[in-house]
Amino acid sequence: MLENKNTQRTTLAELGEFGLINHLTKHFTIQNSSTFKGVGDDAAVLKSTKKQTLITTDLLIEGVHFDLSYMPLKHLGYKAVMVNLSDVYAMNGKAEQITVSVAVSNRFSLEALEELYAGIQLACNTYKIDLIGGDTTSSTKGMLLSITAIGTAKKSDVVYRNTAKPTDLIVVSGDLGAAYLGLQVLEREKQVFQVNPKNQPDLDNYTYLIERQLKPEARKDVVEILAELDVKPTAMIDVSDGLSSEIMHICSQSNVGCKIYEDKIPLDPQVISTCEEFNMDSTMVALSGGEDYELLFTVAISDFDKIKANPNFTIIGHITEKNQGINLVTRADQEIELKAQGWNALKE
């Protein structure tokens, strides 16, 4: 389902590498004062500032990280940018630039890449990001997409994973589990389609879940809200691999334990109803699902009054001494040791 067979199809060989880069990037404009020179020379030029520079990169591979039978190329471009911006925001920083490198096989036309870059451009415009470079090359196996994001933050504002303290509150933005369930719905519909291509999917009951999977939003607003509230998290991470994996990263790097309360984990009503339909445990989906790109952070207990009533945040637990372990407190008030069962990129 790459593209409509009736649409125009321009082979990439017709433009050549530099012609292709020029064609795909000609509509991108510079939006940040820190970008001195973007696309079009041997290297991009950034103005140095007194702030610290944050750099993060992700590699997405067709068949491993995305399936183009249900992931439109425009959505893929948008999501690939979000994945990286989320990591900058998880450091309490401001994302400013990206580079985009893409390798494609000859089954992709120019029009297909235009769709991909339309999604990238929408992300850049929405989040005020500059595309400053990258590379295009050929691939023998489908599409590979690598994006690097560059951001800045004052030294005093950067938040790491290794600075949580016992008695800190554990807070999460938004709700969890929807992106994973969106993937399950899409995979189910793909299997139905393969059996009967005439069967049209009815996705009305899953719109929120599918949007969370295909078009996630990085939580730039959380960084801005925390600054307005005058709250600096003691530790922070983005929820890309599932809540349990992320809190374990914070605990292991900060040398602490934690208690997460099952009845506090924020779930959208569509998550609850779809878990019932799929006969899944909604807590397990929230703990292990991943790809929510919410921000999970800890704050000093003295900041409780500043965040307790904010509709963007849910307090789901607290940090303990390391010897108390990393535990989930169930609705039945039992403590269960948390295990990382989220996405592992190197697992077969």
Work out how many domains the chain is built from and give that number: 2
Residue 158 maps to a domain: no
Q: Is the pLDDT reported for residue 344 higher than 70?
A: no
Of 95, 122, 153, which one is at a domain's C-terminal end?
153
Using 50, 70 and 90 to split pLDDT, how confident is the model at 347? low
Last residue of a domain, one of 121, 153, 185: 153
Whether 342 is in a domain gets the answer no
Q: Which domain holds residue 33?
A: 12-153
Give the model confidence (pLDDT) of 213-267 as tens digits. Answer: 999 999 999 999 999 999 999 999 999 999 999 999 999 999 999 999 999 999 9
Q: Do residue 188 and residue 118 come from a single domain?
A: no
Task: Tell me: do 127 and 40 sit in the same domain.
Answer: yes
* Residue 47 is assigned to a structural domain of this protein: yes
Are residues 186 and 130 located together in one domain of the fold? no
Are 127 and 220 in contact by the 8 Å Cβ rule? The answer is yes
81 CB-side CA count, 13 A: 30
Q: Examine the domain organization and report whether 135 and 234 are in the same domain.
A: no
Structure tokens at 263: 């009845």
Q: Are residues 215 and 99 in the same domain?
A: no
129 within a domain of the structure (yes/no):
yes
User: Do 304 and 176 share a structural domain?
Assistant: yes
**Which residues lie across from 99 on neighbouring strands?**
133, 148
In a domain, 348, yes or no: no
Residue 57 lies in a domain: yes
- Where is the domain boundary, 123, 153, 183? 153
Residues 211 and 322 in one domain: yes
Please name which of 76, 59, 142, 69 lies closest in space to residue 115, comparing C-alpha atoms.
76
Q: Residues 65-119: pLDDT tens digits? A: 999 999 999 999 999 999 999 999 999 999 999 999 999 999 999 999 999 999 9
Task: Work out the average pLDDT over 343-347.
Answer: 50
Distance CA 146, CA 151 (A): 17
